[in-house]
Structure 1
Amino acid sequence: MALKWKSKILLAKLETTYGVDSGPTSVNGILATEVALTPMEGNDLSRDLETPYLGAQGSVPVDVHAKLTFNVELAGSGTPGTAPAWGPLLRACAVAETIVVGTSVTYNPVSDDHESLAIHFMIAGTRFVMIGARGNCTIDYTSSGLPYLKFEFLGLFTQPSEQTRPEVSLAAFIKPLAVTQANTPTFTIDGVALVMRSLMLNLGNAVEPRFLIGSEGILITDKAESVETKVEAVPLGTLNPFALAAAQTDVAIELVHGLVAGNIASLSVSKAQMQRPQGLENAQNIVEWPLRLVPIPTVGNDQWSLTLT
């Protein structure tokens, strides 16, 4: 019997002990788009045998791990102070979650004690299990589109198996708001309100499979966040990115998306160094600046924050 491509189920749950399957169930369902699985990443070692005849040789697979990529709509939980269903995914990207009950949920980067996920992915009745999964995320706001969290996870490989499909609840995922003038009331760089086409914050995690005797795992060994945005050009007296880049000036970035409590997301970068502008772009015969900025820590682990209220 053919397996239907759209018959996907994605479950994810934070692990208590690294690399031990936390057993995600139907309540841990993830509502995702553009799901893509590479179940057996790794290397194939040739045996390099010397034989008395010509021909191909077999190989030995090593450092086998899995890669899973997908997007999740960026929307709150619907209730201030209640974490969204995608919270565990962001936490497994070297991010801390701070909850103020009834008020807010805030995410910010952390350098140590990174959490990990067990991810169960099913297509038809075939279940793929990734354990010890950690990853990277890009927060993407594009005008006239939906805001997304774009994830890429690496996890330790386990053999897939045939399993009974669970009934999955996705009720915790509320409908997102499109990125429009009405729904995105605030976007500023250095305190200057600008007309924005897009903004992407890449968490820049260095996600490394590490396979040694006595220890195998997926580690986040470094991070280097970056921001890319496209905005309508303005007179240099209003904002001069060329002078800011030449002076290595740090500026603040603020973006607020959403209007109703429980579904307002505020992305804040308190200090970002303006990089050299790469050129000018023509969009509908309007000049646009593609700008690059690098979030800089002040006291550490404060390069950016995403606050849901």
Structure 2
Amino acid sequence: MALKWKSKILLAKLETTYNTDAEPTAAANGILATEITLTPMEGSDVSRNLEIPTLGAQGSVPIDVHAKLTFNVELAGSGIAGTAPAWGPLMRGCAVAETITADTSVTYNPVSDDHESLSVYFLIEGTQFVLTGARGNCTIDFTTSAIPYLKFEYWGLFNQPSEETRVNPTLTAFKKPLAVTKANTPTFTLAGVPLVMRSLMLNLGNAVEPRFLVGSEGILITDKEESVETKVEAVPLGTLNPFTMAADQTDVAINLVHGLTAGNIATLAIAKAQMQRPQGLENAQNIVEWPLRLVPIPTVGNDQWSLTLT
């Protein structure tokens, strides 16, 4: 029987002990995602390089086998201020802390130590792929006239796939998103200057390293280097001069607010981002736009950026 490509189920749950299957369930850990792709057996094939009396191909040994899963999740709040969104565990698996202030807010920010991990189940028809010890990277994408997305890349330790009974995940905790528009995204400022924005992407820049040694195998986040890419309408240099800012290594603040009602307002705040050299000018509908690159810089540490839901 052919397997239907669109018949996909994704479950994810935080692990209590690294690489110990957290056994996510359909009732509590379903993930509403788009554009799921799986590479089930990444790694290397080492040739045996045997000396044999005839010509011919050599056998090989698979080593350092792991899996990679990519997918997007719509960026929307839980609908209740102070209640974590359903995608919260996915952010936490990307070296991000979650801080809940009851009835008020949920804030995400980078952390350097004690990184959490996930067990992820991916089913296509009845074939189940399991990633344990999974950690990843995320890009937060606000693009005008589109849905805001959290774009995840996850790496996990390989487990042999199996045939399982299909489940029906509960996905009601995932709320409908608001498109990025003038009305729905009321605030975007760079260096305190309101600008007309086409897009903004914050890449968390996690260095995710599969590490395979005798006595220890795992997926580690060994470093991070966040980056911001944004496209804005050009303004007179007296209003904002990114060329001088880049030459002077100027740090600027970035602030974006998306959403209108309590429980569904997302504020992306970057207190200090160094302007990089502008790469050129772009023509969009015969309007000059600047593609700008910036690097978020820590102040006291683990404060390069924050995403706060209120």
TM-score after normalising by structure 2:
0.99
The answer on 1:58 being equivalent to 2:35 is no
Residue in 1 that maps onto 2:42: 41
Deviation for aligned residue 1:3:
0.5
**Residue matched to 2:90:** 89
Q: CA deviation at 1:38?
A: 0.3
What's the CA shift for 1:162? 0.3
Secondary structure of 1:277's counterpart equals coil
Counterpart check, 1:230 vs 2:195: no
Residue in structure 1 matched with residue 194 of structure 2 by the alignment: 193
Counterpart in 2 of 1:10? 10
Equivalent position of 1:217 in the other structure: 218
- After superposition, residues 6-155 of structure 1 pair within 5 angstroms as 6-26=6-26, 27-155=28-156
Describe the superposition over 1:27-57 as per-residue Cα deviations: whole angstroms up to 9, x where unpaired: 2000000000000000000000111100111
* Alpha-carbon distance in structure 2 between the residues aligned to 1:307 and 1:89: 15
**Aligned partners of 1:167, 1:102: CA distance in 2, in Å?**
31
Give the match for residue 176 of structure 1.
177
Correspondence for 2:257: 256
Supply the distance in 1 between the matched residues of 2:124 and 2:168 (Cα, whole angstroms).
Answer: 14
Partner residue, 1:159: 160
Residues in 1 aligned to 2:263 and 2:213: alpha-carbon distance in whole angstroms: 45
1:99-119: CA deviations, max 9, x gaps?
001000000000000000000
Q: What's the secondary structure of 1:16's corresponding residue?
A: coil
Q: Which runs of 5+ in 1 are unaligned?
A: none
Counterpart amino acid of residue 270 in structure 2: V
1:167 positional shift: 1.8
Residue 166 of structure 1: how far off its partner (Å): 1.3
* Structure 2 SS opposite 1:90: helix
CA distance in 2, matches of 1:187, 1:263: 17
Task: Name the aligned partner's letter for residue 141 of structure 1.
Answer: F
Identity %: 81
Q: Deviations over 1:145-184 (max 9, x none)?
A: 0000000000000000000111210000000000000000
Q: Give secondary structure in 2 for the equivalent of 1:245.
A: helix
- Between the aligned partners of 1:13 and 1:292, the Cα distance in structure 2 is 34
* Alignment partners' CA distance in 1, 2:147 and 2:234: 24
State the alpha-carbon separation in 2 of the partners of residues 177 and 109 from structure 1: 25
Deviations 1:30-86 (A, max 9, x none): 000000000000000000011110011110000000000000000000000000000
Q: Distance in 2 between matches of 1:234 and 1:21?
A: 53
Give distance in 2, aligned partners of 1:213 and 1:259.
52
> For residue 258 of structure 1, what is the amino acid of its counterpart?
G
Q: What displacement does 1:268 show? A: 0.2
The amino acid that maps onto 1:17 is T
Whole-Å separation in 2 of the counterparts to 1:167 and 1:176: 22
Q: Counterpart amino acid of 2:9?
A: I
Deviation at 1:194, TM superposition (A): 0.2
* CA root-mean-square deviation: 0.3
- How much has 1:285 moved relative to structure 2? 0.3
- CA distance in 2: counterparts of 1:293 and 1:190, whole angstroms: 12
CA distance in 1, matches of 2:258, 2:51: 64
Distance, in Å, in 1 between the alignment partners of 2:123 and 2:59 is 30
Letter in 1 for 2:175: I
CA distance in 2, matches of 1:206, 1:163: 33
**Distance in 2 between the 1:228 and 1:139 partners?**
11
Q: SS of the counterpart of 1:244? A: helix
Q: Distance in 1 between matches of 2:177 and 2:113?
A: 31
| Distance in 2 between residues matched to 1:60 and 1:202, nearest whole Å | 35
Regions of 4+ moved over 6 Å: none
Aligned counterparts of 1:273 and 1:87: Cα–Cα separation in 2: 28
Distance in 2 of aligned mates of 1:70 and 1:247: 38
CA distance in 1: counterparts of 2:2 and 2:102, whole angstroms: 47
- The two structures have a TM-score, normalised by structure 1, of 1.00
